[in-house]
Amino acid sequence: MKIRKLHLKNYKVFDDLELDFTDKNGETLNEIVIAGVNGSGKTTVLEFIRDTLTKKPNDNEENYALYSFADADTAYMFSHFMNDNKVFNKIYKRFKYIYNKENENFVKIKIVQGEGVSENDLSKVSPDLNYDASKIKLLNKAIFRPANDRIVGEHGEMILIVSFHEHKDEMKDLIIRQIRNEVFNNLDVPSGKIVKAEIESLNHVFNNLKLNSRFVYIDDDNLIFESINGKKIYYEDLSNGEKFIYFMGLILQKYHINNSIIIIDEPEDSLHPTWQQQILKFYSNIGENNQIILATHSPHIIGSAKPESVFLLKPENGKINVYHPRYAEGHSVNYVLSEIMETNPRENRIGKMVDEYLRLIEKGMHETEGGKELWKELKELDPNSNERGRIRLALRRLEAIGK
């Protein structure tokens, strides 16, 4: 299940926003990073996907969403969930939709006050579209993890909301249950060998992250890790960042997430910048054929994505518009901050002091009392830092021109 397009009209902060999750060749993007200042609607986009898939139509009669899916089965399933007559009259009176049989990958949902759609209305569009519960059960869900691990929303037929505080015990149970099943199904194999094989399999997804611990053992109640100095520690004693990484990696593996959408709001929470640089690939390496949608403030995450995968939401002239940066992947944090996020990375106390000292050098006034006061603090900066490098270059230039 992958989303190719979203079109939100009169939905919360959006008057009319279309997000096209396809590349220049028309292929569906597997990695999507949504960025923007606070209030630009990053979380709103994620929550709209969540609420639509949990069947929560908005009250505004002018609202509508346009979904284009990458596979026909998803459109088929989505249409039928929206037409579940058991709950239709209670919840979906504002939904009117079309299943495009000709393209087989397109669903349009329009919320219309006071109107419903009967089975006969749908059959006019697609006469042979019949409810097939067995087919629907084979399709996977979207996974949604809210920012700051807060518990919001509820599970639906097509979405599973995960939270560390809510599901950490379930994560342990899933791992322990799998090992027990393997032990009882392979009584001729030593249990220790089975445990070791399961742990090695689970650790595989963490190989590219520079973690300071490693999952090494499990007993009836605890996941046991080994710290960088070789000491055994329980899961609960890991740092917040490590707990988050292990939780998401382990539980998504045990849910067997394939052909699904993984939606994470602020994945950088509690993570070191080194991990932030790898987090997009980390989620992309879990399962097979998944679509990753992240909303973030992290320049490290933005700088790890291809430009076509980055969607910048910008408030302009009273509305929210969307842009792609010209460059992103592989560029420095300073570049991402200044050129993509439009933030001055030197807009801090030290940065301002460096800029002032450079102005004094340009005027040949850096040896004044004011210049000497600035240098007292600036000389404590790392000699290899960009700031000290700029100062050295300015001094060499001043010396070269003989001023």
| Distance separating alpha carbons of residues 285 and 259, to the nearest angstrom | 12
Does pLDDT of 134 surpass 80? no
Predicted model pTM: 0.72
Q: How confident is the model at residue 154 (pLDDT cuts 50, 70, 90)?
A: low
Q: In terms of pLDDT, which residue wins out, 52 or 300?
A: 300
- Residue spans of the domains in the chain: they are 3-153+261-329, 166-243, 349-400
Instruction: Tally the residues of the chain.
Output: 403
What's residue 301's pLDDT?
Answer: 94
- The answer to whether the beta carbons of residues 29 and 309 sit under 8 Å apart is yes
Over 336-392, what HEC string results?
A: HHHHHCCCCCCCCHHHHHHHHHHHHHHCCCCCCHHHHHHHHHHCCCCCCCHHHHHHH
| Distance separating alpha carbons of residues 172 and 180, to the nearest angstrom | 12
**pLDDT > 70 in the chain, percent:** 74
Does pLDDT of 309 surpass 50? yes
Mean pLDDT of the chain: 76
- The answer to whether the beta carbons of residues 258 and 290 sit under 8 Å apart is yes
What's residue 221's pLDDT?
Answer: 75
What's residue 71's pLDDT?
Answer: 58
Other C-beta atoms lying within 10 Å of the C-beta of residue 304:
23
- The answer to whether the beta carbons of residues 179 and 196 sit under 8 Å apart is no
What's residue 124's pLDDT?
Answer: 36
Which two three-digit tokens encode residue 393? 């270059």
Does pLDDT of 58 surpass 70? no
Using CB atoms within 10 Å of the CB of residue 46, give its burial: 0 to 12 exposed, 13 to 18 middle, 19+ buried: buried
- The answer to whether the beta carbons of residues 74 and 92 sit under 8 Å apart is no
Name residue 144's beta-bridge partners. 161, 263
Task: Taking the CA atoms of 110, 98, 291 and 201 in sequence, report the sign of the dihedral they define.
Answer: positive
What's residue 139's pLDDT?
Answer: 43
Q: How confident is the model at residue 34 (pLDDT cuts 50, 70, 90)?
A: very high
| Alpha-carbon distances, residue 170 vs 102, 146, 237, 372 (angstroms) | 42, 18, 18, 61
Per-residue pLDDT of 220-242, as tens digits, reads 778 899 998 999 999 889 988 89
Does pLDDT of 113 surpass 70? no
Site of tokens 């992958």: 2
Pick the range with the lowest mean pLDDT from 64-78, 169-183, 347-361.
64-78
| Distance separating alpha carbons of residues 280 and 306, to the nearest angstrom | 11
What's residue 33's pLDDT?
Answer: 95
**DSSP letters spanning 45-59:** HHHHHHHHHTT---S
Pick the range with the lowest mean pLDDT from 21-25, 342-346, 379-383.
342-346
Answer CATH for 3-153+261-329 from 1.10.10, 3.30.1490, 3.40.50, 1.10.3470? 3.40.50
Provide the residue type at 283 as one letter: Y
Phi-psi region of 41 (alpha: psi -120 to 50; beta: other; left: phi over 0): left
**DSSP letters spanning 286-332:** SSSS-EEEEEE--HHHHTTS-GGGEEEEEEETTEEEEE--S--TT--
Q: Please state the rounded mean pLDDT for residues 65-81.
A: 53
* Sheet of strand 291-296: strand arrangement: 159-161, 142-145, 261-265, 291-296, 31-36, 310-316, 319-323
